[in-house]
């Protein structure tokens, strides 16, 4: 986990330095705000990993581990048929453009993001207990 926290933490420091330089060189609120959001998001990811995932043993932290020894590990279940990740990305873009242009876009983007996150949560809660039909018959998907 040390490599993850180090990478995201150093990138957050880079983002805040670029935000400060950008603000003093251009005085543009929109760009400085987006760079500030980037810093907050990276800091959140680093802080979350530092405080909640301290004891996680990731392969990236072991310098002696070869790539072929770590290959083949299941990371997560990703549903390819779900429309919600793409819809969430579009609503985030809509929300961010609304920060710069109009309140209507801002609030509709926020509402769409909340809807997408709600549906993603409901979908991921269902994934663990699905039964899939294979050639041999029904099979539990975990």
pLDDT (tens, 9 = 90+) of the chain, 142 residues, equals 677 788 889 999 999 999 999 999 998 899 999 999 999 999 998 888 888 776 666 666 666 666 666 666 666 565 677 888 899 999 999 999 999 999 999 999 999 999 998 988 887 766 555 555 566 655 555 4
SS3 for 49-99 is: HHHHCCCCCCHHHCCCCCHHHHCCCCCCCCCCCCCHHHHHHHHHHHHHHHH
Give me the helix-helix angle, 84-100 and 103-127, nearest 10°: 160
Instruction: At 134, list the tokens.
Output: 């294979």
Q: How far apart are CA 104 and CA 47, in angstroms?
A: 32
Question: Can you say whether residue 69 is alpha, beta or left, with left for phi > 0 and alpha for psi between -120 and 50 degrees?
Answer: alpha
């Amino acid at each position: 986990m040390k490599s993850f926290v180090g990478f995201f933490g150093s990138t957050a420091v880079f983002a805040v330095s670029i935000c400060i330089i950008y603000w003093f060189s251009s005085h543009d609120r929109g760009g400085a705000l987006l760079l500030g959001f980037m810093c907050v998001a990276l800091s959140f990811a680093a802080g979350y990993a530092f405080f909640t995932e301290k004891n996680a043993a990731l392969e990236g932290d072991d310098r002696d581990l070869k790539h072929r020894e770590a290959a083949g590990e299941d990371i997560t279940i990703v549903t390819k048929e779900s429309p919600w990740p793409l819809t969430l990305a579009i609503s985030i873009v809509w929300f961010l453009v609304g920060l710069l242009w109009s309140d209507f876009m801002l609030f509709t983007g926020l509402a769409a993001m909340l809807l997408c996150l709600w549906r993603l949560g409901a979908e991921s809660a269902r994934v663990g207990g699905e039964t899939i039909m294979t050639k041999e018959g029904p099979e539990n998907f975990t």
